[in-house]
């Protein structure tokens, strides 16, 4: 199948002001593609050559975006659904508003945008939809239940779309990053109530892992490679253990063993 990295192709990257989205947008713009990126905030800090648009990835916000940007969405050849943030803390301490925001921004909004661009792509016989889920979709991080749940929903929705897209020329990629050194944790909402020593310990580990992760530009290189390959697939990226070790563990061990291993890794029984 042909690559969608074609000079002048229209690209939409959500959450392009910082972190992975910024690196994705900058890398695609550097390839000569016409990149539009979204932010809820200040477009002044946008990467060079990336045209800014406003998007709040809530259920209502995505509908406004879809309505106001019909012409762009008809033309998009590569959609990178990247925008997202996390909430950390015990499930019972996460308020209903934070729970709603996680589900809407991480699962509903990206699937809505994928749905919107799919028909025009199918009519043209080509295009790429990249949904940035997470390794957490398969290996849940303790005290991040809403995040893990929303990413798992996005990942499964993406895999379903891969099946639907067969024979249409549209490529669908479930991009599952491990840890990358971005501002993700700094932007994370923390539900402090009810947190115990285990919660504090896991937070410390989550922080250390993120800081030790590769820079976002490394994830952008993986994205370009996946787009060039031009095939629908799940793409894992990050450190060696996350890219190779985790899928091997998933293949050979059942759920109960993996759950025990995760609990041990995060010392949840100590
Ligand atoms: N870093 C990692 O290790 C890692 C691992 C696995 C998955 N991921 C996923 O990768 C994606 C990018 O994360 P990152 O690490 O690059 O974090 P980041 O630096 O905090 O960037 C997140 C981006 O998403 C946008 N965003 C967040 N919530 C939004 C909302 N409700 N509506 C619209 N835009 C929103 C932000 O845009 P504005 O603030 O400009 O609006 C920001 O540009 C996320 O989906 C994250 O879950 C990251």
pLDDT tens track for 9-67: 999 999 999 999 999 999 999 999 999 999 999 888 899 999 999 999 999 999 999 99
pLDDT the model gives residue 246: 87
217 in a structural domain: yes
19 in a structural domain: yes
- The CATH number of the domain holding residue 169 is 3.40.50.720
31 in a structural domain: yes
- Whether 265 is catalytic is no
Say yes or no: CB of residue 20 within 6 Å of ligand 1. Answer: yes
Say yes or no: CB of residue 187 within 6 Å of ligand 1. Answer: yes
Backbone phi and psi for residue 175, each to the nearest 5 degrees, phi listed first:
-90, 115
Where residue 193 falls among pLDDT bands split at 50, 70, 90? Answer: confident
153 in a structural domain: yes
pLDDT the model gives residue 2: 60
CA torsion sign for 256, 260, 265, 267 is: positive
Q: Which domain holds residue 243?
A: 10-265
pTM of the predicted protein model: 0.97
CA of 270 to the centre of ligand 1 (A): 32
pLDDT the model gives residue 86: 98
Where residue 200 falls among pLDDT bands split at 50, 70, 90? Answer: very high
Residue 16: other Cβ atoms inside 10 A: 33
Provide the number of structural domains found in the chain.
1
CA of 143 to the centre of ligand 1 (A): 18
pLDDT in tens, 113-167: 999 999 999 999 999 999 999 999 999 999 999 999 999 999 999 999 999 999 9
Q: How many CA atoms lie within 13 A of 5 on its CB side?
A: 18
105 in a structural domain: yes
154 in a structural domain: yes
pLDDT the model gives residue 123: 98
- Cβ neighbors of 53 (< 8 A, separation 6 or more) are 36, 37, 38, 39, 65, 69, 72
3 in a structural domain: no
5 in a structural domain: no
């Amino acid at each position: 199948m042909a690559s969608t990295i074609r000079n002048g192709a229209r690209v939409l990257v959500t959450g392009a002001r910082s972190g992975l989205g910024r690196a994705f947008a900058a890398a695609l713009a550097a390839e000569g593609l016409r990149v539009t990126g979204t932010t809820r905030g200040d477009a002044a800090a946008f990467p060079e050559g990336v045209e800014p648009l406003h998007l709040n990835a809530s259920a209502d916000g995505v509908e406004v975006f879809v309505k106001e940007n019909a012409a762009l969405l008809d033309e998009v050849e590569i959609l990178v659904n990247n925008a997202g943030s996390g909430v950390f803390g015990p499930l019972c301490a996460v308020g209903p508003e934070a729970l709603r925001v996680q589900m809407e921004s991480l699962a509903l909004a990206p699937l809505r945008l994928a749905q919107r661009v799919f028909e025009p792509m199918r009519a043209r016989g080509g295009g790429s939809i990249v949904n940035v889920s997470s390794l957490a979709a398969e290996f849940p991080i303790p005290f991040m239940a809403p995040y893990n749940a929303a990413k798992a929903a996005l990942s499964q929705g993406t895999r379903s779309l891969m099946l639907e897209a067969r024979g249409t020329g549209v490529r669908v990629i479930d991009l599952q990053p491990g840890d990358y050194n971005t501002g993700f944790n700094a932007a994370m909402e923390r539900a402090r109530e009810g947190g115990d020593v285990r919660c504090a310990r896991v937070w410390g580990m989550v922080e250390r892992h993120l800081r030790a992760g590769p820079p976002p530009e490394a994830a952008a290189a993986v994205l370009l490679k996946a787009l060039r390959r031009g095939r629908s697939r799940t793409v894992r990226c990050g450190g060696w253990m996350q890219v190779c070790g985790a899928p091997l563990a998933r293949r050979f061990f059942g759920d109960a063993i993996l759950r025990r291993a995760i609990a041990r890794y995060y010392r949840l029984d100590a």
